[in-house]
Structure 1
Amino acid sequence: MIEINIDNWERKAQYNFFKDFDDPFMGTTSNIECSQMYMKAKESNESFFIHYMHKALQVINEIPEFRLRILGEKVVQYPIINGTTTVFKHDKTFNFCYFKYIKNFNDFYIQTTNAIELAQKNELLVSKPMQDLIHVSVIPWRSFTSIKHPRIFKDSDSIPKLVFGKVFKTEEKYFMPVSVDAHHALMDGYHVSEFFNKFEVLLSEKQY
């Protein structure tokens, strides 16, 4: 990782303004068209979640602001951001699942499938204090228009949080609600919109 020189940083004014807010996170929800990828995953009987999670991590790693974290008085940028998600268990509780971002989709699919299965079998709620990742939750039972996260207010809480909801159909197209919560000292609505736009393009590519 590299340390950002805050004094010479183009976001110095915005960073100093928002960094000491009691709740510096901003939240945005958008319905993302996912028709091509959703139908492809269903036809191939593969996990739609793993398909779109791979693309979400691809976009996150392409946008530098999503790789920024606040560590104490420093701002650092990680070279690669990996994933963690909540995994629903058979007893209707959940566990945390950790997986690495791998550019090759087939390799990503295999390792993420194995990670999910391991998390489902683990009786302990395993939480790892890492910063080079993105926090992800999935609510496949309902679509939503907004969401609020529980949060421990401390300096190290600067990890963006994503939530994916239930796919719904409108006028022969499939959409999925996606929520992004991000630390406003590190990024703005422009960067969150950039994520949504790039993510939607990848989910709609004709290769799917």
Structure 2
Amino acid sequence: MITLVCLDMAGTTVSDDGAVIAAFAAAVESAGLAAGTSEHRSAVDYAQATMGQSKITVFGAIFGGDQERAVAANEAFEKAYAAALTDGATALPGAEDAIRRMRERGLKVALTTGFSPVTRDALIEALGWQDLCDLVLSPADAGRGRPFPDMILSAVLRLEVDDVRQVAVAGDTASDLLAGTRAGASIVAGVLTGAHGTADFAAVPHTHVLPSVVELDQLLAT
């Protein structure tokens, strides 16, 4: 029996519309990779491939472990994404209602994200989701980001779930699915509303590929 649902944010429950990758592009440019160069394109491609992972970790990999540049790029990313949020944020169609239905049936719902707590909280505020879920977590709250299982396992501990097999995980990236598998979740679902698609999901363990979190809610209701 599933008692906890862990959902990603951008691309899973929240509409992305390219804002995340655009913020990445601006951030690596500000850190010295000129737009239009092969280095800039490679960095953006890497960000796309590792979407869902901790942003500071991704920048660290892009800049070869140069922590000073990684921190500067991460700060630039947060500013660029915050600027995008000034126009508001939009939930993916049906996502908010799906979460409310899950909670009405007694399920606990945690949102997990690769964003820093500052960026995450700005997004939550823009959506008006302060009271929507039981818990929201960033890598800084749990230890390591995806593809490691730390955020999911932290949710299990904080929400006092008895067994990791009572967990369902859904996300739009391969890293989401790897994290769910490593956490021991019984349902690990890729959703086709964000960064990655069926070909990306095929490369990692998972139990389901669904059109959106709406179908996850329907699956859990059966």
Q: Calculate the TM-score normalised by the size of structure 1.
A: 0.31
**Bigger share in helix:** 2
**Bigger share in strand:** 1
Q: Calculate the TM-score normalised by the size of structure 2.
A: 0.29
